[in-house]
Amino acid sequence: MRDTPSFPDGKTATETVLTNATLILPGEVRKGSIVLRDGLIAEIGGPSATGIDCEGDLIAPGLIELHTDNLERHMEPRPGVDWPHSAAIAAHDAELAGCGITTVFDALRVGSIHRDGSYGKYARKVADEILAARPNLRISHRIHLRAEVCSETLIDELDEFGPDDRIGIVSVMDHTPGQRQFRDISKLEQYVRGKHGKSEAEFAEHVAHLTDLRARHGDAHEAATVAAAKAWGAVLASHDDTTEEQVSTSAEYGIRLAEFPTTVEAARACHAHGIATIMGAPNLIRGGSHSGNVAAAELAKADLLDIVSSDYVPAALLTSAFMLGELWGDLARGFGTVTAAPARSSGLTDRGQLEAGLRADLIRIARVDGTPFMRETWVAGRRVA
pLDDT in tens for each of the 385 residues of the chain?
656 555 544 445 579 999 999 999 999 999 999 999 999 999 999 877 789 999 999 999 999 999 999 999 999 999 889 999 999 999 999 999 999 999 999 999 998 887 655 668 999 999 999 999 999 999 999 999 999 988 889 999 999 999 999 999 999 998 666 566 666 666 665 655 555 566 767 667 767 777 777 777 878 999 999 999 999 999 999 999 999 999 999 999 999 999 999 999 999 999 999 999 999 999 999 999 877 789 999 999 999 999 999 999 999 999 999 999 999 999 999 999 999 999 999 999 999 999 999 999 999 999 999 899 999 999 999 999 9
Instruction: Determine the angle formed by the axes of helices 244-253 and 264-272, rounding to 10 degrees.
Output: 30
Domain with CATH 3.20.20.140 in the chain: 63-350
Q: Report the top-level CATH class of 63-350.
A: alpha beta
Containing 67, the helix (H) or strand (E) segment is strand 63-68
Three-state secondary-structure class, residue 328: helix
Backbone angles phi, psi at 288, to 5 degrees: 170, 170
Domain with CATH 2.30.40.10 in the chain: 1-62+352-385
User: Among 324, 373, 318, 356, which residue's Cα sits nearest to residue 55?
Assistant: 373
Which residues contact residue 87 at a Cβ distance below 8 angstroms, ignoring those fewer than 6 apart?
Answer: none
Q: Yes or no: is domain 1-62+352-385 CATH 3.40.50.2300?
A: no
The predicted model scores a pTM of: 0.89
Q: Is the dihedral of CA 174, 179, 185, 188 positive or negative?
A: negative
